[in-house]
Chains A and B, each alone.
Chain A
């Protein structure tokens, strides 16, 4: 296992370097001037030049690039061009909110979606299966920012069961504020994981060893959960990893609608303001999260199917 982890981490280095380089180049190609954003519409050319000089934006691109790479290696992302706050501090504050949202939504997705998919597979073409299809269609079709707004109106504004916005204070306060945004994102996950589980399980249920287990008189629950589901887990885990990554980077709309702190909405603001240092720092963190999640998926593969680790 340690050698697997080391190997995967080594593999990730060129990927990270490529991502960092692409981000650096994309930001410099992107139209829009951080100096103009910071100084306002009426800034004179002299003020703009002074700002760029003080922010190091007038240095040759290769110098800026190597300085950026060095900052990443030393985990020193500098200060925001706009707010002058430490980028590490901004990320450190917002990241836990995004991670909590992604994990919360994924947990709900797994807890409801996987059993739902199992039920749909076992009762193929029956009511649960039909229900699964309809729910999947709806889940895929509703944009999360719209669903979030509707849930806010019903459960927060009218029924007053949940807070209207914010991230909450303390563990229980944060959990309370997490519930509705996590449910919003979980709807798509339930649809996705439910369908994935159904498809994977149906394929396994038609295998010879399942027929053998049934013929030997194994109870239906044992056949489904011990023999079939375990063998159907590989594609589900792959889907789970992809789903988690999509949430980490795609929770922006929900963060905005629920006015939650988070890395996604921080990144959107940074892009709008052309805050290069903050964008670079946030993208590095996203890239690292991709590496970590992929690593976890690989580790899970070897636990589910030990042959893959050998």
Chain B
């Protein structure tokens, strides 16, 4: 493993600085103006504010989520786990055909776009989604829209989506994502490329200004269809450095900061002030370990089982101080279709058992141990988890010859089929077929020339069968029956072990108690609405 002097010093410095705060400073909840909430995100700057633009960062999603609306809304602070959990957004109602292939949305009347750009009509919705389904237009997250065959507007207040295959979770698989935000067609065509820096949406906040020094200023949109936001202004500051962000929060300059998803950060922050509030989503990201089924000893299921038994996911989750949870299958336990340990046969539960791991290795002919070369991203969440896995596997005589490389190289090398054990942090809405499709289906199999996808395990080819199960599941229009089929796939995956669910890791925001966001964050995407937020302490 390559640990550079600079990395070591930087990590130590951040730790020492944060740890030294109690002696020098407690978190200052300073007197401030009541009309502005300041939120520091972990980014150097904004890449774009066009929800469909490629390169949109997690930090940009926060702003975009406030500026734009979607057809349907999630319950505040939660995922909609079942179809009936969705709330009206720009659509006041919707219906779905029996075969779950035709979804019809009735738009809310009188919804205004910002800055006098007129009223929302079905033309805006059709325009937004046709850009996603047009293969010649580059937009982000296109895979969420590949099942849409057509989108039509029979009248100004109705939009009809025709799907290629049934989807009882269409609101989740398509409309819950920030890229499904509805653009203002007139503004988009008028502004062209400038739309990315001066966006027009219909959300509770409108864009005011952006500069590298002061960040972004959003102001409440007085004509918002659901009433103006509680707080007049939201300022988004860009502070990528962990230490700088933490210090800014401690000084009271910033009301909310994006947290750090590495072991110890939460505990240290709690030590600074018991008043600090932490908003954390569960599951957050899914951290899974893809086992390359074409590589040497890993072809043997006994070796893969040994790895599974040797990994103590509960201990890994514990190191993150309450923002992580161990995974059982590959679908997060909070999602529909996930298997529960008590529903599994004993041999598929894989309770931590290093002795059993050692015995399985001996049975597979590796009594003397084995070495597995692999690499991982330097990003703190990846590196932390993989280093813990390395230590746990060392205990059963499996030596991970682990290299740490930069994040962009990590992803590009994975797509060239260079990795053997690929830890991957991915975010999904609660559509359980998505992770199976993206990471285990044959059509997404990775290829050494880079033209393949994200099935780094070669599952479906090295061990056939999952694609038939997946196709059957995706053809099922009934939600409950579909979830039962997902559980069947989960059990098959647990038997074959091409992909190990390790831990889920929450997205965390530390919040000054002077701000009340108006709901409790339990699950949902890595961003949430700020229109209910208000300052409750001067």
Task: Give chain A's interface residues, CB within 8 Å of chain B.
Answer: 30-33, 36-47, 50-51, 54, 81-85, 93-94, 143, 145-146, 149-150, 152-154, 156-158, 164-169, 256-259, 261, 265-266, 269, 272-274
User: Which range holds the interface residue count of chain B?
Assistant: 35 or more
Contact A154–B13 (Cβ < 8 Å): no
B77 proximal to A (CB < 8 A): no
Distance (Å) between the CB of A274 and the closest chain B CB?
5
Contact B241–A257 (Cβ < 8 Å): yes
Q: Tell me the complex Cα distance, A82–B59, Å.
A: 14
A50: which B residues are within 8 A, CB to CB?
135-136, 138
Contact B48–A145 (Cβ < 8 Å): no
B453: which A residues are within 8 A, CB to CB?
44-45
Once A36-B415, A164-B251, A274-B408 are accepted as A-B contacts, the answer to whether A149 and B141 lie under 8 Å apart by CB is: no
Distance (Å) between the CB of A19 and the closest chain B CB?
23
B348 proximal to A (CB < 8 A): no
Extra contacts, 20 of them, besides A50-B135, A269-B240 (Cβ < 8 A), are A31-B409, A36-B412, A37-B408, A40-B140, A42-B141, A42-B438, A45-B451, A84-B53, A94-B212, A143-B13, A145-B9, A145-B13, A150-B17, A153-B247, A168-B213, A169-B214, A256-B241, A256-B244, A261-B213, A272-B406
Q: Which of B47, B212, B239 has the most CB of A within 10 A?
A: B212
Q: Tell me the complex Cα distance, A153–B25, Å.
A: 8
Once A82-B55, A166-B213, A257-B243 are accepted as A-B contacts, the answer to whether A41 and B454 lie under 8 Å apart by CB is: yes
Distance (Å) between the CB of B329 and the closest chain A CB?
20
Q: Which 10 A-B pairs have the closest CB atoms?
A: A32-B408, A167-B213, A82-B55, A261-B212, A256-B241, A31-B409, A146-B13, A38-B54, A38-B55, A33-B412
Once A38-B54, A149-B247, A256-B244 are accepted as A-B contacts, the answer to whether A31 and B412 lie under 8 Å apart by CB is: yes
Q: Tell me the complex Cα distance, A88–B147, Å.
A: 40
Q: Tell me the complex Cα distance, A257–B242, Å.
A: 8
B24 proximal to A (CB < 8 A): yes
Contact B241–A259 (Cβ < 8 Å): yes
B223: which A residues are within 8 A, CB to CB?
none
Contact B408–A83 (Cβ < 8 Å): no
Once A32-B406, A40-B141, A265-B44 are accepted as A-B contacts, the answer to whether A258 and B251 lie under 8 Å apart by CB is: no
Distance (Å) between the CB of A185 and the closest chain B CB?
16
Distance (Å) between the CB of B92 and the closest chain A CB?
32
B400 proximal to A (CB < 8 A): no
Closest to B443 in A: A44
Contact B244–A39 (Cβ < 8 Å): no
Distance (Å) between the CB of B439 and the closest chain A CB?
9
Q: Tell me the complex Cα distance, A149–B14, Å.
A: 8
B496 proximal to A (CB < 8 A): no
Closest to A260 in B: B213
Contact A169–B251 (Cβ < 8 Å): no
- One of B13, B46, B408 near A33 (C-beta < 8 A): B408
B506 proximal to A (CB < 8 A): no
Q: Tell me the complex Cα distance, A8–B471, Å.
A: 69
B93 proximal to A (CB < 8 A): no
Please name 7 pairs of A and B residues whose Cβ atoms are closer than 8 Å in the assembled complex, sorted by A.
A31-B409, A157-B251, A164-B248, A165-B248, A166-B214, A259-B238, A259-B244
A166: which B residues are within 8 A, CB to CB?
213-214, 237
Contact A39–B54 (Cβ < 8 Å): yes
B45 proximal to A (CB < 8 A): yes
A269: which B residues are within 8 A, CB to CB?
44-45, 240
Closest to A46 in B: B135
A43: which B residues are within 8 A, CB to CB?
142-143
B438: which A residues are within 8 A, CB to CB?
42
Q: Tell me the complex Cα distance, A199–B251, Å.
A: 43
B413 proximal to A (CB < 8 A): yes
B213: which A residues are within 8 A, CB to CB?
166-169, 261
Contact A153–B24 (Cβ < 8 Å): yes
Q: Tell me the complex Cα distance, A94–B212, Å.
A: 9
B9: which A residues are within 8 A, CB to CB?
143, 145-146
B250 proximal to A (CB < 8 A): yes
A94: which B residues are within 8 A, CB to CB?
212
B136: which A residues are within 8 A, CB to CB?
50
Q: Tell me the complex Cα distance, A43–B438, Å.
A: 10
B538 proximal to A (CB < 8 A): no
Q: Contact string, B17-28, partner A, CB cutoff 8 A, digits 1/0?
A: 100110011001
Q: Tell me the complex Cα distance, A84–B47, Å.
A: 8
B295: which A residues are within 8 A, CB to CB?
none
Q: Contact string, B40-64, partner A, CB cutoff 8 A, digits 1/0?
A: 0000111110000111000000000
Once A36-B415, A156-B251 are accepted as A-B contacts, the answer to whether A41 and B142 lie under 8 Å apart by CB is: no
A165: which B residues are within 8 A, CB to CB?
239, 244, 247-248, 253
B462 proximal to A (CB < 8 A): no
Distance (Å) between the CB of A9 and the closest chain B CB?
32
Contact B55–A273 (Cβ < 8 Å): yes
A272: which B residues are within 8 A, CB to CB?
406-408
Contact A167–B212 (Cβ < 8 Å): yes
Distance (Å) between the CB of A279 and the closest chain B CB?
12
Q: Tell me the complex Cα distance, A259–B44, Å.
A: 8
B450: which A residues are within 8 A, CB to CB?
33, 45
Distance (Å) between the CB of B239 and the closest chain A CB?
5
B143: which A residues are within 8 A, CB to CB?
42-44
B299 proximal to A (CB < 8 A): no
A51: which B residues are within 8 A, CB to CB?
54, 138
Contact A47–B142 (Cβ < 8 Å): yes
Distance (Å) between the CB of A39 and the closest chain B CB?
5
Contact A259–B239 (Cβ < 8 Å): yes
Distance (Å) between the CB of A141 and the closest chain B CB?
11
B212: which A residues are within 8 A, CB to CB?
93-94, 167, 261
Q: Which of B245, B247, B413, B415 has the most CB of A within 10 A?
A: B247
Q: Tell me the complex Cα distance, A153–B247, Å.
A: 7
Once A145-B10, A153-B21 are accepted as A-B contacts, the answer to whether A37 and B55 lie under 8 Å apart by CB is: yes
Q: Tell me the complex Cα distance, A46–B55, Å.
A: 17
Contact A157–B247 (Cβ < 8 Å): yes
B237: which A residues are within 8 A, CB to CB?
166, 259
B3 proximal to A (CB < 8 A): no
Q: Tell me the complex Cα distance, A46–B452, Å.
A: 10
Contact A152–B247 (Cβ < 8 Å): yes
Q: Tell me the complex Cα distance, A93–B213, Å.
A: 10
A153: which B residues are within 8 A, CB to CB?
17, 20-21, 24-25, 247
Closest to B437 in A: A42
